[in-house]
Amino acid sequence: MESEPLILENEFDMCSAEEEDNLNASGVDLGQQCSSSDLEPYEGMEFESEQAARIFYNSYARRVGFGTRVSAYRRSRRDNSISTRQLVCSKEGFNPRPDNGAQHKPKRQRIVSRVGCKAHLTVKKLTSGKWAITKFIKDHNHELVPPDQVHLIRSHRHVSGPARSLIDTLQAAGLGATGVMSVLIKQSGGLNNVGFTKVDCQNYMNQSRQRTLGSGAHYIFEYLKQKQSEDPDFFYAVQDGSSGNIFWADSTSRKNYSYFGDTVTFDTTYRTHRYRVPFAPFIGVNHHCQPVLFGCALLLNESESSFIWLFENWLAAMSGCHPISITSDHDRIIRSAILDVFPGARHRFCKSNIFREAQERLSHSIQSFPTFEAEFQKCVNLTETIAEFELCWGSLLGRYNLIDDEWLQSMYDARQQWVPVYLRDTFFGDTSIAKTSDSTSSFFDGYIDASTNIHILMSQYEKAIASRHEKEVKAEYDTINIAPILKTPSPMEKQAANIYTREIFLMFQQELMETLAYPATSINDAGSDVIFQVVKFGEDHKVHYVQYNVVEKKASCSCQLFDFSGILCRHILAVFRVKNVLRLLSHYVLKRWTRKAKSEVLLDEDKLGLPSSHNDSFTDRFEKLSLEATNYVKEGVDSKSVYLVALDALCEASKKVAAAMCGTPAQPLSQDMNKEKEFNLNGNQTDCDDPSLLSEDEKIKELTTAVVYATETCEAYRAKLLSILSEMEEQKLRISLKVQSMRVHRIT
């Protein structure tokens, strides 16, 4: 038979699972050739087909311990069909050398897998239609793989027909790749008998999911087109035609982002549980601490370019407004795409996913040491300083002999993106730093799960939207119609109850109540910035530091709860109690947590009961004058000469104040004192001009001013009284705790 010269083509694996299954189903019997444990190829050996020869050589390679590839071929000049095929060792040839002149270097450096091995087998088609071995080279120039590792060689990893059927069944029942592999390993009697790895299983499940989605894609497109015709603000985009990723966001999602788009969670739970439908929503948190939707995606392609496409389209739908922070899975591709599209956003890895992965990666330690998992989570969640975390982490790994664990080392290297103590300086909308889970409760919990297929996806999506809307309406109703129970006489608590939603107020109230057990002590009051030490009674080892600016009335705490969640911590509130700050200042009220979160206007400070930004409230004026007067007295008693100057200046100031209250210009100090107007603390006029000289309007004005002044003075006394009562309650609590401690000590 005339043949063309030998041609090198793109080399491929020896035989796919489908080919092997089809070959067996067709009744082709490889007989003793494939079953004999000592049979080797030899020149002249015949096969029914080229596929049979390939399967035989691959079976031989598996027994010996090397991988195979299909390499060169020749075509017949008569009918252009393949007449000769060369089957080679997978280490035949050499890896291509990188082009030193290339402008773009490859992202990943591939391992060297080819070493120029000459072992191969050549088969040729005979005139009878059968195929025969014409050349066989047995020897290899590299070590062969032992039997317990041969299942890792690529050419020997195939998902067979029975395995595919079982995987489909288990996937439909909601099992992920890990669970599926556990079943297959148990059924096969060991991992090396399964015939493929977990990665192969995951790839097959992804392909199966894509086939399922592809069959129902037209239904999704029709749904999106209909929604866009009903809602002009409905946004959707499709990547690379009908076979690519899909993203959509309705008008409600886009408007919600304008209110609550400061922090976003890209929920890829489907990747963990291997859902049948690759559904990934963008989720935020509203003013009732409920999950709120910012858009959804169906992901058929999970390349970096696909995630970049998705994030760019989502950002376009959200009018180009970048979030402050974003939470996602700690996948390398997602991380790279977020860095590319949201360079200014703080990226956090989902702590829940990391804990879930730890159960798999550290299963041996968890099974061997029942206390390990709890200590691991405690180390991550409850450490309050970076130094404390570092010490706890090192101690944990040392006690459980995990210092050399590669996964834990990789997690430690990325600690600034998932351990809470490193993230406290950024707003993430979490109302507690020490929460076990940092992921927002999924918007679709109870509606979309591992068994959801493409045909019921959109109906479940609609049901979830309706349910979440009803829950938000209920939360709004409760906030407006159910007045919270106030637990203290504090004006700040009453103010917060009128400002915040019910859910947020309850969290604020808890922090306010905790201040009774947290005394604040000034440790540095030099200048306008005062440093306070705040320690819970009986827990002297846990110290928090609050820096308070007496002029701007701004405070920052070492716990950074306000930066992280937008709710004042008990430590700052304890300092406010000491400094007689009786009401919340405007810069401590985030609009996103208030009842007015969805209003289009800025917070109205008067209606919300907030002190004015111009510092013109009575409480502000009283506190500032008290501070200035105290500093004045301290400086005025240094010496007798300074005292006389200070007293003279104080007399002059009192005359100016009295004149301002009477509505007349201040008189110089040298003029007759009998013509000055002064007011005592009760607001009564003393040494004023003859009342007959004043008009009726002036008398009314004086009396009105006196009443206002008396009212404000009473308010000051009331504020002082509340402060004294608060201190008494604190002293009472301390005494009670001390007595209880003494009783316990006496009993023991």
Out of 561, 577, 593, a domain closes at 593
638-673: pLDDT as tens digits: 666 777 777 777 777 777 776 776 655 444 444 443
What is each CA distance from 286 to 258, 291, 296, 569, 595, in whole angstroms? Answer: 11, 6, 17, 20, 11
Find the helix or strand (DSSP H, E) in which 546 lies: strand 543-549
Do 698 and 690 form a contact (C-beta atoms < 8 A)? no
Residues of the chain above pLDDT 90, percent: 39
Q: 83 lies in which domain range?
A: 45-92+113-152
109-157: pLDDT as tens digits: 556 678 889 899 999 999 888 999 999 998 999 989 888 788 788 887 8
Q: Are residues 520 and 439 in the same domain?
A: no
What single-letter amino acid sits at 331? D
Is 589 within the bounds of a domain? Answer: yes
Is 334 within the bounds of a domain? Answer: yes
Burial class (CB in 10 A: 0-12, 13-18, 19+), 526: exposed
Q: Are residues 134 and 219 in the same domain?
A: no
Out of 152, 182, 201, a domain closes at 152
Is 746 within the bounds of a domain? Answer: no
Q: According to the model, what pLDDT value does residue 453 have?
A: 76
What single-letter amino acid sits at 458? M
pLDDT at 434 over 80: no
Q: Are residues 336 and 219 in the same domain?
A: yes
pLDDT at 614 over 60: no
Q: Are residues 120 and 225 in the same domain?
A: no
Confidence of residue 490 (pLDDT cuts 50, 70, 90): very high
Q: Which 3 state secondary structure label does DSSP give 602?
A: coil
Is 529 within the bounds of a domain? Answer: yes
C-alpha dihedral, 348 to 351 to 356 to 358, nearest 10°: 90
Q: Are residues 455 and 569 in the same domain?
A: no
User: Can you tell me the mean pLDDT for 218-236?
Assistant: 89
Higher pLDDT, 22 or 372: 372
Q: Which 3 state secondary structure label does DSSP give 69?
A: strand
Phi-psi domain of 582 (left: phi exceeds 0; alpha: psi -120 through 50; beta: other): alpha
Q: Which 3 state secondary structure label does DSSP give 3?
A: strand
Within 10 angstroms of residue 398's Cβ, the number of other Cβ atoms is 10
Q: According to the model, what pLDDT value does residue 486 have?
A: 95
Find the helix or strand (DSSP H, E) in which 294 lies: strand 291-298
User: Can you tell me the mean pLDDT for 176-199?
Assistant: 80
Mean pLDDT of the chain: 80
**Cβ neighbours for 60, distance < 8 A, ≥ 6 positions apart:** 39, 40, 41
Determine the Cα–Cα distance for residues 593 and 260; give it in Å rounded to an integer: 9
Confidence of residue 228 (pLDDT cuts 50, 70, 90): very high
Beta-strand runs (E) in 344-502: 346-349
Sequence length of the chain is 748
Determine the Cα–Cα distance for residues 580 and 570; give it in Å rounded to an integer: 15
Higher pLDDT, 636 or 248: 248
How many alpha carbons fall within 13 Å on the CB side of residue 723?
16
Out of 466, 500, 527, a domain closes at 466
Q: Which residues pair with 13 in a beta bridge?
A: 69
Confidence of residue 535 (pLDDT cuts 50, 70, 90): very high
Looking at 610-624, 688-702, 732-746, which range is the least confident one? 610-624
Is 187 within the bounds of a domain? Answer: yes
Determine the Cα–Cα distance for residues 686 and 695; give it in Å rounded to an integer: 18
Q: Is the four-CA dihedral 365, 367, 369, 375 of positive or negative sign?
A: positive
Confidence of residue 625 (pLDDT cuts 50, 70, 90): low
For 413, the token pair is 């290297």
User: Can you tell me the mean pLDDT for 187-199?
Assistant: 79
Confidence of residue 33 (pLDDT cuts 50, 70, 90): very low
Q: Which 3 state secondary structure label does DSSP give 687?
A: coil
Is 387 within the bounds of a domain? Answer: no
Determine the Cα–Cα distance for residues 492 and 490; give it in Å rounded to an integer: 5
Do 678 and 686 form a contact (C-beta atoms < 8 A)? yes
C-alpha dihedral, 522 to 523 to 528 to 534, nearest 10°: -50
User: Can you tell me the mean pLDDT for 236-264?
Assistant: 89
Is 236 within the bounds of a domain? Answer: yes
Residue-wise DSSP of 475-496: HHHHHHHSPPPP-S--HHHHHH
Do 449 and 211 form a contact (C-beta atoms < 8 A)? no
Looking at 164-173, 390-399, 678-687, 691-700, which range is the least confident one? 678-687
User: Can you tell me the mean pLDDT for 7-25?
Assistant: 50
Determine the Cα–Cα distance for residues 550 and 585; give it in Å rounded to an integer: 13
Best CA proximity match to 311, nearest among 274, 269, 280, 349? 280
Q: Are residues 489 and 575 in the same domain?
A: yes
Q: According to the model, what pLDDT value does residue 683 have?
A: 38
pLDDT at 510 over 50: yes
H helices of 75-216, in order, are 161-172, 177-188, 198-215
Greatest CA span in the chain, whole angstroms? 139
Confidence of residue 242 (pLDDT cuts 50, 70, 90): low
Q: Are residues 505 and 565 in the same domain?
A: yes
Higher pLDDT, 415 or 26: 415
pLDDT at 85 over 80: yes
Q: According to the model, what pLDDT value does residue 392 have?
A: 96
Q: Are residues 144 and 125 in the same domain?
A: yes
Do 675 and 689 form a contact (C-beta atoms < 8 A)? yes
Confidence of residue 688 (pLDDT cuts 50, 70, 90): very low
Quote the number of domains for the chain.
4
Looking at 68-82, 110-124, 429-443, which range is the least confident one? 429-443
Pairing of strands 346-349, 325-328: parallel
HEC string of 225-270? Answer: HHHHHHCCCCEEEECCHHHCCEEEECHHHHHHHHHHCCEEEECCHH
Higher pLDDT, 467 or 80: 467
Q: Are residues 178 and 82 in the same domain?
A: no
Q: Are residues 234 and 338 in the same domain?
A: yes
Q: Are residues 562 and 577 in the same domain?
A: yes
Q: According to the model, what pLDDT value does residue 408 have?
A: 95
Find the helix or strand (DSSP H, E) in which 381 lies: helix 372-381
705-719: pLDDT as tens digits: 666 666 666 666 666
Pairing of strands 68-75, 82-89: antiparallel
Find the helix or strand (DSSP H, E) in which 547 lies: strand 543-549
Looking at 354-363, 478-487, 738-747, which range is the least confident one? 738-747
Q: According to the model, what pLDDT value does residue 39 have?
A: 78
What single-letter amino acid sits at 186? K
377-399: pLDDT as tens digits: 999 999 999 999 999 999 999 99
Best CA proximity match to 86, nearest among 69, 98, 71? 71
Q: Are residues 440 and 501 in the same domain?
A: no
Confidence of residue 287 (pLDDT cuts 50, 70, 90): very high
Highest mean pLDDT among 99-113, 435-449, 552-566: 552-566
Rg, C-alpha atoms of the chain: 38
Find the helix or strand (DSSP H, E) in which 73 lies: strand 68-75
Find the helix or strand (DSSP H, E) in which 282 lies: strand 279-285
Q: According to the model, what pLDDT value does residue 621 have?
A: 60
Residues of the chain above pLDDT 70, percent: 72
What is each CA distance from 742 to 372, 734, 748, in whole angstroms? Answer: 36, 12, 10
Is 277 within the bounds of a domain? Answer: yes
Find the helix or strand (DSSP H, E) in which 311 lies: helix 304-317
pLDDT at 685 over 50: no
194-216: pLDDT as tens digits: 878 888 887 777 676 666 565 56
Q: Is the four-CA dihedral 152, 156, 162, 164 of positive or negative sign?
A: positive
What is each CA distance from 119 to 35, 140, 180, in whole angstroms? Answer: 22, 6, 37
Do 555 and 546 form a contact (C-beta atoms < 8 A)? yes
